[in-house]
Amino acid sequence: MGMELRKAIDQISKDRGIDRDLLIDTLEEAVRSSVARKFGDHMDIEVSYNDEAGEIEVFQFKIVVDEVEDPLSEINLEDARLVDPNVQMDDELGFKLKVEDLGRIAAQSAKQVIIQRMRDAEQEIIYEEYKDRKGEIVSGIVQRRDRGGWIINLGRTEAMLPKEEQIPRERYKRGDRVQAFIIEVLPSGRGPQIIISRTHPDYMAALFKREVPEVSDGTVRILGVSRDPGSRAKVAVSSKDRDVDPVGACVGVRGSRIQNIVQELHGERIDIVVWHPEIATFAANALSPARITRIMVDEDEKTLEVVVPDDQLTLAIGRKGQNVKLAAKLLGWKIDIFTDSRYSELNAARAGMEQLASVAEMNMENFLAAGFDTVAMLAEATDEELDRIGGMTPSKRQDLRAAIRLLLPTPKPEESEEDNPDEAPEASAEVAPETDEPKE
Residues 367 and 387: their CA atoms lie apart, in Å, by 11
Count: domains in the chain: 3
Name the stretches of the chain with pLDDT < 50: 411, 415-440
How far is the CA of 143 from the CAs of 164, 183, 196, 248, 426, in angstroms? 18, 19, 14, 39, 49
- Are residues 64 and 192 located together in one domain of the fold? no
Strand partners, 338: 307
Q: How many of the other CB atoms lie within 10 Å of CB of 6?
A: 17
CA distance 262 to 269: 7
Domain boundary, last residue among 199, 220, 238:
199
Q: What is the CATH number of the domain that holds 157?
A: 2.40.50.140
Is 264 within the bounds of a domain? Answer: no
Q: Note the pLDDT tens digit of each residue in 391-411.
A: 788 888 888 888 888 777 664
- pLDDT value of position 405: 80
Q: What DSSP character marks residue 164?
A: G
CB < 8 Å & 24+ apart, contacts of 297-300: none
Last residue of a domain, one of 199, 216, 241: 199
266 domain-assigned:
no
State the pTM of this model: 0.62
Q: What is the per-residue pLDDT for 355?
A: 81
Q: What is the pLDDT of residues 91-111, one digit of tens each?
A: 888 888 776 666 676 667 767
Instruction: Report d(CA 332, CA 338) in Å as an integer.
Output: 19
Using CA atoms, how far residue 294 sits from 5, 7, 65, 323, 344, in Å, is 83, 83, 96, 17, 12
CA 259 to the chain's CA centroid? 28
- Cα(250)–Cα(134) distance, rounded to whole angstroms? 24
pLDDT of residue 417: 45
Question: Residue 15 burial by CB count (10 A; 0-12/13-18/19+): exposed, middle or buried?
Answer: exposed
